[in-house]
């Protein structure tokens, strides 16, 4: 479980969430200990995120010309500024919950040489909260759907996706209502 989640952080084709959902379903059936599943999930997320960060940071020179060219795009510039400013902790924690975003944020943090101590702090907050949330949700659903383990894994994934989508809609609406946007998160004026 730990190694699949580490692998998922580095190469997003590995089934990180599915692994936690399946292990939590087994915990609900009494085959695994839920607290150990949560611990393995959190440690796997933190170690995997750190590995990707250091891979990107040690290879930053290889992609520096492309990264500089990408900064010419205003939307890319806003995103990169968000990673340097006040938005970095939010992106690190929230990004842990979204597969593609997690990879992009962690790799870009390494490319941009974001201070590793801050990265590790917020990656830990994201990894621990993600593991606890994912395991708890899957455990509850599996307990409610005892006898239907595959159904509980699928339903847990659907519930998590719906919650993330609702959170994004609320964030966008509140940003539009208050006049804050991506630029303010990044510390720039747009």
What is the model's pLDDT at position 90? 84
Chain segment 158-177, per-residue pLDDT in tens: 777 777 777 777 767 776 67
Of 15, 55, 23, nearest in space to 40 by CA: 23
Mean of pLDDT values over 138-160:
77
Least confident among 48-62, 96-110, 174-188:
174-188
Q: What does pLDDT average to over the chain? A: 82
Residue with the bigger pLDDT between 34 and 65: it is: 34
Contacts by 12-16, CB closer than 8 A, 24 or more apart = 12/99, 12/100, 12/102, 12/103, 16/44, 16/45, 16/99
Residue 34: exposure state from Cβ atoms within 10 A (0-12, 13-18, ≥19) = middle
pLDDT at 179: 61
pLDDT in the model for residue 149 = 66
pLDDT at 175: 64
Q: Is residue 152 a contact partner of residue 25, using CB atoms and an 8 Å limit?
A: yes
Enter the tokens of residue 135. 């395991």
Q: Is the pLDDT of residue 35 over 90?
A: yes
Q: Which residue has the higher pLDDT, 155 or 53?
A: 53
pLDDT tens digit sequence for 88-144:
888 888 888 887 788 888 988 898 888 999 999 999 999 999 999 989 988 888 888
């Amino acid at each position: 479980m730990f190694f699949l989640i580490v692998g998922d952080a580095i190469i997003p084709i590995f089934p990180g969430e599915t692994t936690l959902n399946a292990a939590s379903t087994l915990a609900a059936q009494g085959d695994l200990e839920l607290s150990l599943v949560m611990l393995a999930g959190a440690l796997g997320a933190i170690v995997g995120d750190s590995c990707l960060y250091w891979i990107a940071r040690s290879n930053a020179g290889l992609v520096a010309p492309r990264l500089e060219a990408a900064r010419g795009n205003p939307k890319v510039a806003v995103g990169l500024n968000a990673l340097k400013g006040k938005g970095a902790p939010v992106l690190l924690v929230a990004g842990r919950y979204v597969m593609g975003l997690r990879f992009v944020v962690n790799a870009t943090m390494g490319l941009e040489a974001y201070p590793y101590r801050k990265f590790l702090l917020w990656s830990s907050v994201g990894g621990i909260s993600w593991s606890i949330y994912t395991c708890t949700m899957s455990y509850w659903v599996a307990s409610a759907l005892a006898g239907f383990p595959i159904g509980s894994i699928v339903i847990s994934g659907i519930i998590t996706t719906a919650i993330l989508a609702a959170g994004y809609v609320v964030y966008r609406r509140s940003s539009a209502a208050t006049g804050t946007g991506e630029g303010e998160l990044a510390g720039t004026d747009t």
